[in-house]
Structure 1
Amino acid sequence: MQTQEVYLGQDGIYTNSVGVKQLLDFYEDCKKFTDCVIHIKLDNLLWLDGNLCALLGALIFRLTQDNNLKFGIDAAEVTKKCSVLFHNDFLKIEQNVNLYKESSSIPFKGFYPKQKDEFTDYLDNELLSHKAMPKFSTEIKEKLIDDLIEIYGNIDKHAETEFPFFVCGQHFPKQEIIRFTICDLGVGFYKKIKHIKPDIIANSGDAILWAIDGNSTKPDAPGGKGLKNLHEYLSENKGGIQIFSGDANWCSKEMAQNIAMKPQGISQLKKMFTGSSISLEFNKKVLLS
């Protein structure tokens, strides 16, 4: 197969709209090609937030399915420039495994929509039991799992996709935060919510705000509180939440930090993301105090 070179990004790819734009640009550059091998270049990249491997993995999965692409990357380049791709199992290695395992990484993994038990096990044993997390009480831990499982349920019932969804997390010791991202390749927030609320939902931003307020597209079930509950819990503990779907990015004020807040926390993406990416930020300084 023919090989094409595509740069992953430039400088730093962080958990914000600029970082997501870089990953979507990478996706668009790769989408120009079919039936070939994409060699991912890291020359211009200085940093990648490990949790964003969930989004990167989702985009690469879609490209393999839609464009019959295969992907390669230079292992020495990864070690030098972006070793997090080894640390969190985004790139599988067979030798020197212990050299690359770092406690700051929460593993990259994909789950199909019907793998509820496997996803629950990951939340319990990989995310919420990570050594950087506090020793949650049984009640809080079960509540967090319930709220995250509701997000899974929305993917299973409403995303209209049989593609897997992807997860990954990262502990950032200097900032004393843990970020966790879950990304699916479904229809996104807008389509379903617009269908049931055509008078008040004009765009993807409206749909995200409607969902974060605790509303539900499920007429026969109370539901709809997972995102709202997570937002409230993280906000109360000086953490945050960020959502990308369609052409919109919503960011809670806590996660925006020093970035100027847009009206209602919504900013527009120049590229369309067909799916949803939800990033949670746990503030270790508050949770462990």
Structure 2
Amino acid sequence: MDRLQGEWKISTRRACAVLQIDRSLYVYKSKRGTQAELTQRIREICATRVRYGYRRVHILLQRDGWAVNPKRIYRLYKELGMQLRNKVPRRRVKAKVREDRRPATHTNDIWAMDFVHDQLATGRKIRILTVIDTFSRFSPATDPRFSYRGEDVVQTLERICGQMGYPRSIRVDQGSEFVSRDLDLWAYQKGVVLDFSRPGKPTDNSFIESFNGKFRAECLNTHWFMSLDDARAKMEAWRQDYNEVRPHSAIGNKPPISLLNGSPADLPVGP
């Protein structure tokens, strides 16, 4: 149309007649917002109303003046990964139930933690709580005990947070210790979000899985542990070497301690 008018110097009415299109179709301007604006609004609603499905989101959008079809909202809702999970830890106040994960941008932004199992030379089983800062890859704790309850996890977290500060979020699986009322109450009081992995999706917590693989290969598989105190000493020695000496390929072959005060320009890109 523009080319025709430019070359032949004719009016819009005449050009529409030549091309046999209705003039009202050519001059029509859409009154609905752009896809980007709609997508952003859906994100905003889901960020504050985490238990709303797409139908309630659609109702709120209509109240805001968006003349949109619910099928369109459903499609965008799924593309954004906002579907509610089928299994969410019950009674969890500080549980994050969405999949809108972003990379950590500074120290104490996002931690990850999990358990590793091993045994003493006597055959008695032990459980080790491992914790890692996903930005710097610094590990503040590898804490072995014979058994762990929710209150034991809180005790370990309080100890290391007293040294490093409290994280904004901690990524965990849905183990009984992590969905405990003790941990949820602690997270609520300290303003920490517990970001739960989906059931059967270990890749949701890939940073701690990667760390645990190194921990097992370089420490657990290379030592006999005579007692719990012996296990603590050997694991602590390995943790210090990991944090202060061992080069990490994901952070430019630097030791994790070098990024404790890092900037966004030093942002790691993978486990």
Q: Judge same fold: TM > 0.5, yes or no.
A: no
User: Which has the larger helix fraction?
Assistant: 2
Question: Where on the TM-score scale, by shorter chain, does this alignment land: which range?
Answer: under 0.3
Q: Structure 1 length normalisation: TM-score? A: 0.24
User: Which has the larger strand fraction?
Assistant: 1
